[in-house]
Amino acid sequence: MTGATPAQRPAGRPRSQEADTAILTAALDLLIELGAAQTSIEQVARRAGVTRATVYRRFADKTELLVRALEWANHDHDPDFTGWRDLDHMFGDWAEHLADPRNRRLLRRLYGSVDDYPELITTYRSVNGGRRAALVREMLTRTRDLGLLPPDIDVDVVSELLSGAVLNHLGTHRDGESAETVKRYFMEIMRQLGHRPPVTRKR
Amino acid sequence: MTGATPAQRPAGRPRSQEADTAILTAALDLLIELGAAQTSIEQVARRAGVTRATVYRRFADKTELLVRALEWANHDHDPDFTGWRDLDHMFGDWAEHLADPRNRRLLRRLYGSVDDYPELITTYRSVNGGRRAALVREMLTRTRDLGLLPPDIDVDVVSELLSGAVLNHLGTHRDGESAETVKRYFMEIMRQLGHRPPVTRKR
């Protein structure tokens, strides 16, 4: 990726690309394990197997490092993805994401650092949120227009409400629930909002 | 309260009750300002104007201190309070609580410490949550039975959904919104759930 080949690599010193990856991986892992406040450049350097100077050459400070780690971890989200088939499909996706304890913990860490490192949640939202939020609203609008949600539903309010439902799940449901159980949680919430899924015809 | 009078108090040394209050106040303030992970017994002692030994005589460790501070801060909630007149009254109360930046920050700190200090949110919930949660469900049930919510609404799911709405508000709305604005947020959510407030008769 950087054009460096193994032959060009000085013995015992990771190539630039390797050091980048090691640093970003270590930063993301420590953010998830310890949270932003408890993570230090020192620890990141140690875990990545580089010197502190190597980290500081690339990142001005801890906040910049964590912001870049979040961007990096989300850099390869499929750009071809243009939305979900239906609500069932959408919440199936959400549930799979939320069934992974690592994802849950990262989201809690981001929320938990809102007062001290507001840049982190802002970054996460701008990387994940913008396009994704639009797709969620589109999905809700389509569902409503198909007559499966009350006609006067406000998709923006429902979107906020679903974000809250994610936070509530992360805070009050134990990690380790199956994706199926998590999905049921969301479908039950949609039912309260008047969602009536299309009747499947029996053969 | 302890029976000690000023005359019995050794000069320069706070009485037991005074030391207790100073320690618990300092602990709660630091929890709100810095979060649980960043708070230390050392800092609490310094801010309370006592020695570390004085703190350790009363509390085995930081977690116990923070748990007791949370219990103490919530000890005088009115036991005569038996519920709200209607949804409007309930969300008016919630909104006043959530319009205070200090309350918002405490709730974020508790949520943010869920992975490292799970005892804190458990304590907060058991002090505030048990009876309060029952009153919320009762309020929702009554509203439904009055025909102001759809008859098939599930009050437990709606309760969870409202907890999520609080978390979403704490995380995405800026501190400093007026109580009136916060209340509108909740009433709008209830409208999505099919709440139709009673029509006020014109004179």
Where are the alpha helices (H) located in chain A, listed in sequence order? 16-34, 41-48, 52-58, 62-73, 87-98, 101-112, 118-124, 130-145, 155-172, 179-192
Overall average pLDDT of the B116-124 stretch: 93
Are the CB atoms for B52 and B43 separated by under 8 Å?
no
Q: Are residues A182 and A132 in the same domain?
A: yes
Q: Are residues B68 and B116 in the same domain?
A: no
For residue B27, give its domain range: 14-73
Distances (CA, A) of B60 to A74, B52, B55: 42, 11, 8
In-domain check, residue B134:
yes
Give the tens place of pLDDT for each residue, B126-163: 887 678 888 999 999 999 999 999 999 999 999 999 99
Q: Which residues of B touch A169 (CB under 8 A)?
A: 164
Q: Which residues of A touch B150 (CB under 8 A)?
A: 194
The answer to whether A105 contacts B116, with C-beta atoms less than 8 Å apart, is no
How far is residue A27's CA from residue A124's CA, in Å, rounded to a whole number? 15
The answer to whether A165 contacts B166, with C-beta atoms less than 8 Å apart, is no
Q: Are residues B64 and B111 in the same domain?
A: no
In-domain check, residue A9:
no
Q: Are residues A185 and A96 in the same domain?
A: yes
Give the tens place of pLDDT for each residue, A124-179: 888 876 788 889 999 999 999 999 999 999 999 999 999 999 999 999 999 999 99
Q: Are residues B134 and B45 in the same domain?
A: no
Tell me how many degrees the CA angle B12-B17-B22 measures, rounded to the nearest 5.
75
Give the tens place of pLDDT for each residue, B10-32: 555 556 889 999 999 999 999 99
Q: How far apart are the first and last CA of chain B?
A: 54
Q: Are residues B95 and B169 in the same domain?
A: yes
Q: Are residues A108 and A173 in the same domain?
A: yes
Q: Which residues of A touch B109 (CB under 8 A)?
A: 115
In-domain check, residue B6:
no
* A2: pLDDT strictly greater than 80: no
CATH of the domain at B42: 1.10.10.60
Q: Are residues B183 and B92 in the same domain?
A: yes
In-domain check, residue B79:
no
Write down the number of H helices and E strands in chain B: 10, 0
Q: Are residues A91 and A188 in the same domain?
A: yes
Closest CA to A170 of B171, B16, B145: B171
Q: Are residues A68 and A115 in the same domain?
A: no
In-domain check, residue B178:
yes
In-domain check, residue B9:
no
Closest CA to A87 of A191, A7, A201: A191
How far is residue A199's CA from residue A64's CA, in Å, rounded to a whole number? 50
Domain count, chain B: 2
The answer to whether A111 contacts B111, with C-beta atoms less than 8 Å apart, is yes
The answer to whether A192 contacts B166, with C-beta atoms less than 8 Å apart, is no
How far is residue A197's CA from residue A184's CA, in Å, rounded to a whole number? 13
Q: Are residues A112 and A67 in the same domain?
A: no
Q: Are residues A64 and A128 in the same domain?
A: no
How far is residue A90's CA from residue A88's CA, in Å, rounded to a whole number? 5
Model ipTM value: 0.87
Element at B42 (helix H, strand E): helix B41-48
